[in-house]
Structure 1
Amino acid sequence: MGNKRKVNKSNSRYLVITTVLGFFLMGCTSVFDKHVEWETVAPESYPVILAIGYAPISVQKGASESSKMLMALKASKLDAYRELTEQVYGQKVEGGQSLASLVIENTHLNSSVQGVIRGAKVVKSYPVGDDTYATELELDFKLVNDIYLSTARPKRVKKVHYY
């Protein structure tokens, strides 16, 4: 009798192992028995966002007024790009406070923006008042999407054929 039980335990272990192995192999082979068709996905609408950057003229480094104006023009363009980047990617804000004897000793707040802007175009640059220069940028997401599609080719499942 004792010998018969040992054989049954061995057979049941063998049965469990082969069943698990069989299910595993069936799962692996089903991956190879299908064909997936993909299609690209286009958004329903494309927003256009605007940004304006400003820069003072008088504090720019330059030997003449015209060189200071050119530097302010470049600085206002960079400020407009920063504004676009904030709108597209958001702004990271970090802050903190330190206490000593339950009295606030120090408070600080830092912010940063990081991202890549492609496809923006300058709408216009112009002086504002006597000492400021402004630049307006426009970012059309239809153009951004076209640039993205030319490099990334995003896809979704169109159809799956099982064999």
Structure 2
Amino acid sequence: MQSIILQSARATGVSLVLLLGGCSGLIDKHVEWEVVEPESYPVLTAIGYAPVAQQMGQTENDRSLMAMKASKLDAYRELAEQVYGQRLNGSQSVANMVMQDSQLKASVEGVIRGARVIKSYPVGQDTYATELELDMRKVYDIYLTTAKPKKIRDVTYY
């Protein structure tokens, strides 16, 4: 019984020495990082539209306010398409060499931060429009506050 405990203690000691010796390669250097910045920053613009008459509301003013909000959301959707792209799903079915059904679905998903409303205005008799602007420099500054992207500047080995 005592020899089993002694062998177990030796095996544990040997594995501990090997484990600590393997980690010494991680501690013998110092890495300096620097932030990577893009060379240019584009400014994206988007315009959203919404019909006034089709909005929910009891009065014309209520419907106009809802159209303003809807046109702003449509403009944000357009900005998200520009930043993240659009997902397309399509399907077709054929039976007896005759096209039976054809479908195409599009969706966009993303988070837009830092956009600002340039102006909101009525277009014609029954449509509202909102123009948005997204300065990618501002987006980059917002990104830096949360992610802090880095690249290796220098590595010093000891």
TM-score scaled to structure 1, two decimals?
0.82
- 1:72 is matched with which residue: 43, 63, 67? 67
Give unmatched runs, 5+ long, in structure 2. 1-17
Provide the rounded CA distance (Å) in 1 between the counterparts of 2:54 and 2:132. 23
Amino acid at match of 1:66: N
Alignment of 1:10-159 (within 5 A): 29-159=24-154
Aligned residue in 2 for 1:18: none
Query: 3-state DSSP class of the match of 1:130?
Result: coil
1:128 Cα deviation (Å)?
A: 0.4
Deviates more, 1:86-95 or 1:40-49: 40-49
Q: CA RMSD in A?
A: 1.7
* 1:29-72 alpha-carbon deviations (Å, 9 max, x no partner): 43332110001111111111000000001111111111110010
Provide the rounded CA distance (Å) in 2 between the counterparts of 1:27 and 1:144. 42
Provide the rounded CA distance (Å) in 2 between the counterparts of 1:45 and 1:103. 51
Give unmatched runs, 5+ long, in structure 1. 1-20
Aligned residue in 1 for 2:4: none
TM-score scaled to structure 2, two decimals?
0.84
Provide the rounded CA distance (Å) in 2 between the counterparts of 1:111 and 1:26. 55
How many residues are treated as equivalent by the alignment?
A: 141
Deviates more, 1:43-52 or 1:28-37: 28-37
Provide the rounded CA distance (Å) in 2 between the counterparts of 1:154 and 1:118. 18
